[in-house]
Structure 1
Amino acid sequence: MNNKKLIPTNEIKEEFEAVLLEKDNIAHCEINLKGGTIKNIQRLDISYDEIALDTVNNEFCFTLKDKNNINFHRVNLQKFSQINAITLNLNDYFSSEELKDESYYSKLIYLNHQYLLYFITKREINYGLPFYQCIFLVNTSTGEIKQLNPVLPNGDNLLRLDTSKNIYLSNHNHLLLLKTGRIRPFEKQSMYKRVDIEDPYHDHLESIYLMEVSSLIDQQNFNNATLLSLLNYSGASENLRYENNVLSYVVSDFTNNTKELIKHDLLMGNISKFQDDQLIRDHLDYELEVEPSYYHFIFNLFKQEKSDSFILIDDELVFELKLDMIN
């Protein structure tokens, strides 16, 4: 697997900037797609575990495990060399038996210039138990770390987190999208055919929430999260996508064998639902159908033979390209 990943920090054009992630270093780079070159602006020789990049605030955050400690680092992409680090001591939250094993699963979520969310588990995946064990609100300015109650308003549990996304509306409101239910639609449909409705698969519930980041930080709980969708074992959601104040996704109803495209206008508060097969196919095939404006550069760079290979990650799109490193 290619360990050279490029994450853009501004719009991808003929020339743009990106964070280059390698095994033991992080670099802020300039990319020239027409010339097929990459140039390091600044570089940190440091390892990392989880990353969280926020291009709106021009910040890059990452975690690094050191024995039974998790260190949180914050990097301003303009200065790059200035890092704030605070430490979470796992001994305070996990048993000695759990800490014997070095392995763990985690997820880092950027909130703002001061706060991060951090999900972690030290146990193996167990049937009937939520995926994560703890959620922490990390204040990188004061060093305060608080464990949060994972309960959501409808009784779901955020320890079952599947995906998340920062959403910035055009009116400058900042929301956090949270989806529970760590099971893919095709897996869920297969299980539906043989489900025991009295005792369904433990992860059958899917919830999609939006929450104002300011409310989460002020209240330090998820009580004000707004439920957008709740699906039990007979349905599934897929392809959550946000663009121009609109959050859209497809919901499948296994009982009636139907699909529906749902669009939430987050600015106006309107909800639209479509059963049109072509609209649904277009939404589901978005990653296959879309051809970004820079694709002709990518196509040409992929054919080069002597350059280093990189993986360009543009939100939901992933491309391999080859670039020459220059000084």
Structure 2
Amino acid sequence: MNQLIPTNEIKEKFEAISLNDDNIVHCEINLNDGTIKDIQRLDICYDEIALNTVNNELCFSVKDKNVINFHRINLKTFNQIHAITLNLNNYFSSEELKEESHYSKLIYLNHQYLLYFITKRAIKYAQPFYQYIFLVNTTTGEIKILNPILPIGDNLLRLDILKNIYLSNNNHFLLLKTGRIQAFEKQSMYKKVDLKNPYYDHLESIYLIEVSSLIDQQNFDNAKSIALLNYSRTSDKLRYEKNILSYVLSDFNINNQELVKHDLLVGKVSKFQDDQLIQDYLNYEVEIEPSYYHYISNLFKQEKSESFILIDDELVFDLKLDKIS
């Protein structure tokens, strides 16, 4: 099924990138009449994508045997640039390279730099998820392995969530979260934890790092710790909106929950323990009705030729659209 990622505000008519296994399409959607029209199209079997609507760029990777090719597309012109090539033979053993599959994540930083996380080994208990983090300079062709160590003792090879966030003063940060474990899993683990040998991924960390600092220093030494949570605490529904970073913090030791809000612009932290407020926050995806929802609900009921998944940050909707020329 096609994914639709908006490149501007979703309203009656908006533009989006349509992603399928073998093409990338810049298109225009009309939610009122339920149609989708191709503006520009690129037929290619891509591996990972990184869309940045602030800079009107789409970056993607293409795997060809043991080589990863990185490309950039300007969303206005749709001109494709083959930026740089990463040869996996230089980093992985022959045994690892025998496996066709791999896990990877591509992160857009700016017009010059990308981050690329990759592993070629099977997921295994007590080892980090990724093997390498590469800083890719698409202007000079330089590729550098980054030290994954974070301040206060965590490791970014354990990456769970990574997002670009922009404050209202135009400061550009990466939001980093480690610990590939969900809140309910961690609560279950807590009940039977061996304090001398806790589950490897028991540690969750939330960090912020300024993108300019990451590029200048080419390490994560300047990452600021927002939360460091061991086996007895967990975070849920990490969300950023309008300078505010929010999440629900659960402490299993005292059976307590609180909604934590960091105002990143002024550096203020607020905590709320109101049960209803916390429940409303956790049910955000279920309860919210965005301004365009009445269009979505109508299209869901109609018989249309093609199905799409519309992804608007944390909100996901199924809809059907007719293609027009």
Question: TM over 0.5, yes or no?
Answer: yes
Q: 1:32 and 1:305 mapped to 2: Cα distance?
A: 16
Q: What code does the residue aligned with 1:317 have?
A: L
Deviation at 1:283, TM superposition (A): 1.0
Q: 1:160 and 1:198 mapped to 2: Cα distance?
A: 21
Q: 1:69 and 1:161 mapped to 2: Cα distance?
A: 23
| Counterpart position of 1:35 | 33
Are the aligned partners of 1:49 and 1:62 in contact in 2 as well (CA < 8 Å)? yes
Q: 1:61 and 1:35 mapped to 2: Cα distance?
A: 31
Provide the identity percentage.
76
Q: What code does the residue aligned with 1:233 have?
A: Y
| Counterpart position of 2:273 | 275
Superposition map of 1:247-326 within 5 A: 247-326=245-324
The correspondence for 2:186, drawn from 175, 185, 188, is 188
Q: 2:36 matched to 1:70?
A: no
Q: 2:242 matched to 1:244?
A: yes
Deviation at 1:256, TM superposition (A): 1.0
Q: 2:289 and 2:140 mapped to 1: Cα distance?
A: 44
Are the aligned partners of 1:75 and 1:84 in contact in 2 as well (CA < 8 Å)? no
| Counterpart position of 1:231 | 229
Deviation at 1:242, TM superposition (A): 0.8
Secondary structure, in 3 states, of the residue corresponding to 1:223? Answer: coil
Deviation at 1:282, TM superposition (A): 1.2
Deviation at 1:307, TM superposition (A): 2.4
- Between 1:273-282 and 1:155-164, the stretch displaced more is 273-282
| Counterpart position of 1:5 | 3
Deviation at 1:77, TM superposition (A): 0.3
Q: What code does the residue aligned with 1:72 have?
A: F
Residues 11-33 of structure 1 show CA distances to partners (whole Å, capped at 9, x for unaligned) of 00100000010111101000111
Deviation at 1:41, TM superposition (A): 0.4
Q: 1:51 and 1:150 mapped to 2: Cα distance?
A: 22
The correspondence for 2:101, drawn from 77, 100, 103, is 103
| Counterpart position of 1:137 | 135
Q: What code does the residue aligned with 1:189 have?
A: Q
Secondary structure, in 3 states, of the residue corresponding to 2:47? Answer: coil
| Counterpart position of 1:90 | 88
Deviation at 1:179, TM superposition (A): 0.2
Deviation at 1:278, TM superposition (A): 1.2
Secondary structure, in 3 states, of the residue corresponding to 1:222? Answer: coil
Deviation at 1:85, TM superposition (A): 2.7
When normalised by structure 1's length, the TM-score is: 0.98
The correspondence for 1:127, drawn from 93, 111, 125, is 125
Deviation at 1:50, TM superposition (A): 0.8
Are the aligned partners of 1:179 and 1:206 in contact in 2 as well (CA < 8 Å)? yes
Deviation at 1:82, TM superposition (A): 2.9
In the comparison of the two structures, how many residue pairs are matched? 325
Deviation at 1:279, TM superposition (A): 1.2
Residues 143-195 of structure 1 show CA distances to partners (whole Å, capped at 9, x for unaligned) of 11100000001110000000011110000000100000001111111111010
Secondary structure, in 3 states, of the residue corresponding to 1:203? Answer: helix
Q: What code does the residue aligned with 2:39 have?
A: I
Are the aligned partners of 2:71 and 2:80 in contact in 1 as well (CA < 8 Å)? no
Q: What code does the residue aligned with 2:5 have?
A: I
Deviation at 1:72, TM superposition (A): 0.7
Residues 117-141 of structure 1 show CA distances to partners (whole Å, capped at 9, x for unaligned) of 1100000011110000000001111
Q: What code does the residue aligned with 1:51 have?
A: I
Q: What code does the residue aligned with 1:221 have?
A: N
Deviation at 1:84, TM superposition (A): 3.0
Deviation at 1:81, TM superposition (A): 2.4
Deviation at 1:46, TM superposition (A): 0.6
Are the aligned partners of 1:206 and 1:232 in contact in 2 as well (CA < 8 Å)? yes
The correspondence for 1:159, drawn from 149, 157, 160, is 157
When normalised by structure 2's length, the TM-score is: 0.99
Deviation at 1:308, TM superposition (A): 1.1
Q: 2:237 and 2:264 mapped to 1: Cα distance?
A: 17
| Counterpart position of 1:176 | 174
Q: What code does the residue aligned with 2:40 have?
A: Q
Deviation at 1:83, TM superposition (A): 2.0
Secondary structure, in 3 states, of the residue corresponding to 1:261? Answer: strand
Q: 2:179 and 2:21 mapped to 1: Cα distance?
A: 30
Are the aligned partners of 2:83 and 2:139 in contact in 1 as well (CA < 8 Å)? no
